[in-house]
Amino acid sequence: MNTGVDELIRQGVAAARVGEKEEARRHFEEALRRDPDAVAAWLGLSGVVDSPEEKRRCFQRVLELEPENAEALAGLAWLDRQQTPAPPAEVLYCANHPNVETVLRCNRCNKPICVKCAVQTPVGYRCKECVAELQAHFFNAQPWDYPIAAAVTLFLSIFVGAFLPWLVSMLPYGWLFMFFLTPPISGSIAEAARRAVGRRRGRYTWLVASAAGVFGGMLGLVILWWQIGVLPWLTFLIFIVLHASTLSMRLR
């Protein structure tokens, strides 16, 4: 019986040597069917089976039979080396700072970005370039829009600044009325400025318009004082504060 096993193992080794794995496997398995403790057959089989699990089982069987078997120990060590290097998590480097590792990506262009380069938006992290590009679409003002918005606000504010605080100051507790009258009137001026620039959005429209509004209102007061000689400072003060804040809020 043992002679047959040795012959099968020899044939298996010969077949494995020329790359006939299936043939080799049949010989080794037949040898093991006849003698399950044939160490050489287990070692031979380990070389022709495909999966690491099968190879491991072969080596473990050898070590059960021969705990010091160098070939099986080396084989298991080799299998361990093959399996341990799990592919490391992808390390990203900021597109703007090549030395800075990061885990963030711009959710619009997918570019890796570090914390410094990331802009947190309501829809997630984005790179500054994408944010600037989107803002360029959002703020579509033309160069002339700022002087136009300033001129419209200035002109209307001179009128309102000259007449509204003065007329209201003649009412009893007039200053109280200013709190109700100013916001809608200033809102109308903001709306007029917005229409004058074709409703285009400018990043600094609110700033230009509220500056022009304050200047126009003061100019109106100066004209009133110069022409009529009155200075309704309390109603004017309430007006100018509410006027500036309404313009900046409505045009922001």
114 is an interface residue for Zn ion by CB under 5 A: yes
Q: How far is the CB of 107 from Zn ion (least distance, A)?
A: 8
Q: Which of 23, 35, 69, 96 binds Zn ion (CB under 5 A)?
A: 96
Question: Up-side HSE of residue 244: CA atoms within 13 Å toward CB?
Answer: 13
Q: How far is the CB of 201 from Zn ion (least distance, A)?
A: 22
Measured between alpha carbons, how far is 79 from 64 in angstroms, rounded to an integer? Answer: 17
Q: How far is the CB of 170 from Zn ion (least distance, A)?
A: 59
104 is an interface residue for Zn ion by CB under 5 A: no
118 is an interface residue for Zn ion by CB under 5 A: no
Structure tokens at 213: 């509004």
76 is an interface residue for Zn ion by CB under 5 A: no
62 is an interface residue for Zn ion by CB under 5 A: no
User: Residue 17: is it exposed, middle or buried by C-beta count within 10 angstroms (0-12/13-18/19+)?
Assistant: exposed
What part of residues 143-202 is at the interface with Zn ion (CB under 5 A)? none
Nearer to Zn ion, 114 or 185 (CB): 114
97 is an interface residue for Zn ion by CB under 5 A: yes
Q: Which of 74, 109, 170, 228 binds Zn ion (CB under 5 A)?
A: 109
The β-bridge relationship of strands 101-102 and 112-113 is unpaired
94 is an interface residue for Zn ion by CB under 5 A: yes
Q: How far is the CB of 122 from Zn ion (least distance, A)?
A: 15
Stretch binding Zn ion (CB under 5 A), from 31-39, 54-62, 120-128, 182-190: 120-128
Q: How far is the CB of 91 from Zn ion (least distance, A)?
A: 14
Q: How far is the CB of 206 from Zn ion (least distance, A)?
A: 27
Query: Site residues (CB under 5 A) for Zn ion?
Result: 94, 96-97, 106, 108-109, 114, 116-117, 127, 130
